[in-house]
Amino acid sequence: MKKKFLFVCLVAAVSVAGFSQKVPTYLDDSKPIEQRVAAALAAMTLEEKVALCHAQSKFSSKGVPRLGIPELWMSDGPHGVRAELLYDEWSQANWNNDSCTAFPALTCLAASFNPDLAHLYGTAIGEEARYRNKSVLLGPGVNMYRTPLNGRNFEYMGEDPFLASRIAVPYIKGVQSIGVAACVKHFALNNQENWRMNVDVNLSDRALREIYLPAFKAAITEGKAWSLMGAYNKFRGQHCCHNDLLLNQILKKEWKFDGVVISDWGGTHNTQEAALNGLDLEMGTNTNGMTASIANSYNSYYLANPFLQELRSGKMDVSIVNDKASRILRLIFRTIMDRKRPFGSLATPEHAAVARKIAQEGIVLLKNDQQTLPISPSVKSIAVIGENATRSMTVGGGSSELKVKYEVSPLEGIKSRFGKTATIDYSLGYGSGKYQYDKVAPSPYDALKLRTEAVAKAAKAELVVFVGGLNKNSEQDCEGRDRVSYGLPFEQDLLLTEILKVNPHVVLVLISGNAVEMPWIKEVPAIVQAWYGGTESGNAIADILSGDINPSGKLPFTFPVKLEDNSAAAFGEIAYPGDAKTHKQEYKDDILIGYRWHDTKAIKPLFAFGHGLSYSSFQLSGFATSKPSYQAGDSIVVSVQVKNTGKYDGAQVVQVYASQTKSSVMRPKKELKAFQKVFLKPNEAKKVTIKIRTKDLAFFSESAKDWKLESGEFVLHIGTSSDNIVKSIPININ
């Protein structure tokens, strides 16, 4: 017994002695991150450093097991946390605990014109990613809306760099407040899906700086994003995932980015360029297996064994891998090894409420003649027509597809809200095929039969709610291919025309992430742009149709009357989609995209940027600026009184645009420089004050290669959309 007791004491003493050893600096989270990074790097072998720089599975990269440093796990996407995939395959793993909340697409968030809502969005999706133990969330996307044919526009934040910046920054801060890295994408000029792997974009430095980079810059310098994803396309002959100008010169040197540049999946093409031109972590390079016997195994990635051989031979200096490994270690310490980061939660009622609120605020009332909306309680029969009333919009679309806990369809939402007082009769009306990635899905339906049945039901109803638009199939709102036409697919135009012949009382609910052509615009009395609203989409739509919620969304991009009115379409193939033989492309519209093009060229849009109606009415008055003249470095303070003169609680977005009276270079007729959303009860008035930095009135000088603010007269245009300016105030800049 005595020997046994002594043995136990000896083991305990040895154990205590072992655990009382000093904790390595890199594992001590009381130490500054930079000190921990340096300590970890010093303890690593060359092989361990290189191993950090490439994938080990479809969505993970290695840590340093010997040192207790864990691997990184990533997940698509910007609107929800994607379902778990098999370790080395694209198929879903079919877990039963990875169903998420679908948040509205980022076009809907941008349409809210509400940065506070963006922070709420980021925090909620960050909590879901954290619960799923993800270190990196692959979003948000901040590429510019240049053409309504881009299949991936629904993932982005519209056509204006200022709006995208103001929405992206709080989204990123929200995600990262939970200890999950936001990965801003796709850097840069990834503005189409056609030929996305090799289209070679060229444009002026001015257009690059004024239009296509500001949202990325804000994400890095203001949002402090911890990671960034390169784009598939080329820029001036060099792939964006290893582009010296974009990654080394602008991102890392000029913007002082201290995070990790992650390749898009399959976006890496060369060891030399990847190593030297700013890429840190290579993901998804067409691997089809994990073993060395397969040519594209993970250890054969450009930043794997080929990179290691370059370093061992002395052809590349070890400082190159040290920089990459340091950045990846920093990301690990900021996320998975931060023991103070909050715990997450998944698919909660609170997250569903956030999703519903975002959808409500983002929905845009485009048209409302004869006060067709909100739907009167006296309406006793409603015909709901259209495949989009029942089709899931969380399935498909490419990498943004989601496996959701639930998804309320528009039909379900309408039935829930109106079913007790009115008869709801549904007809498919038109039909598309099942979702297929990168393949056009043929419709299995008899279009004439569907159309005939729908028209018959429409004729019997007091009111028709047509739920149409696009879906997440290839060549619509989907990654991989652009749309093939500006019009609605599946003969929806014909169906609408036939319905209007038998019943003029039609409300059109458009589900899409893109503008569409509207040849029937004069005949349809009410049009609602509902986007992809996520988990609570149907309820949010019903909230708006009923008037339970007053619409307050504003368009984050312009709806052209016809495709030819769009800037990218105005210069022929070379401007979009590019030369068919060389895949070279010139952005000949330069800085004039979206409303900048329409305003400057006097091309009337179908619906203007910033447009959005309300069930209430608002009066703007008392316009003033803090003073008439300003010096460089000053802030301009604009004030305006906003009054709700209607009968509904509502919100209005005050938008301030600027123009320069005389300039040494061509400037757009006006550009958005500030906005503020104000919520008001009936007959309530509030004074809104908005600050504009004088430096934000500068243009990028091609000759000086820098921003230039010229002296002279500028005009501030205050209104509620780009084509509804209520007051213009001249100021002087000295």
Distance, CA of 507 to CA of 241 (rounded, Å): 45
Instruction: Tell me the two tokens of residue 458.
Output: 């429409």
Q: How far is CA 72 from CA 246, 275, 334, 443, in A?
A: 25, 20, 11, 41
Q: What DSSP line would sit under 460-489, residue for residue? A: H-SEEEEEEE--SSTTSS-TTS--S-SSPS
DSSP type of residue 100: B
Distance, CA of 344 to CA of 98 (rounded, Å): 13
Peptide bond into 65 cis (omega under 30): no
Instruction: Tell me the two tokens of residue 251.
Output: 């991102």
Distance, CA of 336 to CA of 344 (rounded, Å): 13
Catalytic residue set: 264
Distance, CA of 658 to CA of 709 (rounded, Å): 13
Q: Rounded to 5 degrees, what are φ and ψ at 587?
A: -80, 80
Residues 6+ apart with CB under 8 A from 16: none
Partners of 658 in the β-ladder: 671, 716
Distance, CA of 248 to CA of 259 (rounded, Å): 12
DSSP type of residue 396: -
Q: What DSSP line would sit under 605-646, residue for residue? A: -SB-TT--B-SS-EEEEEEEES-SEE-TT-EEEEEEEEEE-S
Closest to 326 (Cα-Cα) out of 79, 41, 657, 708: 41
Closest to 365 (Cα-Cα) out of 373, 376, 354, 357: 373
Partners of 638 in the β-ladder: 625, 690
Q: How far is CA 63 from CA 23, 27, 133, 563, in A?
A: 18, 13, 15, 49
